[in-house]
Amino acid sequence: MTKILVTGSTGQLGQALRSVSDLYSSLSLHFFSKQELDITDTNAVESVFTSQPWDYVINCAAFTNVDLAETEPEKALLINGKAPAILAKACKRNGIHLIHISTDYVFDGEKGSPYTPQDLPNPINQYGATKWEGEKAIQAIGGDFSIIRTSWLYSEFGNNFYTKILKKAEAGEPLYVTNEHIGSPTYAKNLANHILTRTKNSCILKGISHFSDGEAMTWLELAKKIVKEKKIKTSITGSKKQQASTLRPFKSVITD
């Protein structure tokens, strides 16, 4: 049986992986929260990685608060940039394949057409910059690794765009959503199934790849889609104004 260690198990993707794990009987997934495994602690990582013969590590742990990364860049860099290097070194030493999740925010959004894995990153905020540092560190260390960039991840788990919109809509609050930014919204369970299916079939792509649900839209269009699917009647107004001061790529659609 293939043994998989999952870091950041209480995050959005970690919970999505747990929710679909029963569909993969040939995979034995072991979930570790931040409290159970601090990926910034070299000794803790080495101890867990050598505790049993793991085949894969799926790194779902990340500092994902884009705005907070601007005010806490050192913390964001530690988790998004330096910790992946710790994981990559431990994986290489122990013959483990590292699957690391990255983001469309490594791009500046100025290309005008969908980004491919071959496009050169140029992040415009601290979150994207720290995730790019993590990618570079993993590639420099080498070993078996797969870096999967995804975009606009949403789900019913945790605090994300989907849950925020749904909560406000169900409460009858009017919604004001930016219609400036364009991306590829990705349902976390779809990404989880993509990872586990390819792992089960031993065809996980090495190097850098992209995964999204493929449909390009604005945050406003996604909000309308969410409330329509849930059959909620509410007022949704488009806004040209960014909801936060942090720079975000205006068009970060990704494709393979």
Q: Which tens digit of pLDDT belongs to each residue from 106-149?
A: 999 999 999 999 999 999 999 999 999 999 999 999 999 999 99
Rounded to whole angstroms, the Cα distance separating 100 from 149 reads 8
Residue 144 lies in a domain: yes
Residue 57 lies in a domain: yes
| pLDDT score, position 126 | 97
Identify the residue whose tokens are 């930014």: 181
Question: Over the stretch 34-89, which tens digit does the pLDDT of each residue have?
Answer: 999 999 999 999 999 999 999 999 999 999 999 999 999 999 999 999 999 999 99
CATH code, domain with 26: 3.40.50.720
Band the pLDDT of 235: cuts 50, 70, 90.
confident
Give the number of other Cβ atoms within 10 Å of residue 103's Cβ: 26
Amino acid at 164: K
Residue 233 lies in a domain: no
Rounded to whole angstroms, the Cα distance separating 208 from 210 reads 7
| pLDDT score, position 172 | 87
- 127 is known as an active-site residue: yes
| pLDDT score, position 17 | 98
Rounded to whole angstroms, the Cα distance separating 56 from 96 reads 5
Residue 159 lies in a domain: no
User: Over pLDDT 90: what percentage of the chain?
Assistant: 86
| Number of residues written out for the chain | 256
Closest CA to 60 of 197, 239, 245, 196: 196
Residue 43 lies in a domain: yes
Closest CA to 150 of 76, 202, 239, 213: 213
Band the pLDDT of 229: cuts 50, 70, 90.
confident
**In contact, 129 and 107? CB cutoff 8 Å:** no
The pTM (predicted TM-score) of the whole model is: 0.95
Instruction: Provide φ and ψ at 218, rounded to 5°.
Output: -90, 170
For all residues of the chain together, what is the average pLDDT? 94
Task: Note the Cα 18 to chain centre separation in Å.
Answer: 15
Task: Give the CA diameter of the chain.
Answer: 55
Provide the residue range defining the domain that includes 55. Answer: 2-153+187-214
**In contact, 7 and 58? CB cutoff 8 Å:** yes
Question: Over the stretch 8-33, which tens digit does the pLDDT of each residue have?
Answer: 999 999 999 999 999 999 999 999 99
Residue 45 lies in a domain: yes
Tokens of 85: 């290097």
**In contact, 148 and 102? CB cutoff 8 Å:** yes
Residue 252 lies in a domain: no
Range 95-112 average pLDDT: 97
Give the number of other Cβ atoms within 10 Å of residue 223's Cβ: 27
Amino acid at 104: D
How many Cα atoms within 13 Å fall on the side-chain side of residue 65? 11
**In contact, 104 and 184? CB cutoff 8 Å:** yes
Domain count, the chain: 1
Closest CA to 69 of 252, 249, 247: 247
Closest CA to 76 of 66, 86, 85: 66
Give one DSSP letter per residue of 162-186, joined into a string: HHHHHHHHHTT--EEEE-S-EE--E
Which of 24, 56, 115, 127 is labelled catalytic?
127
Residue 169 lies in a domain: no
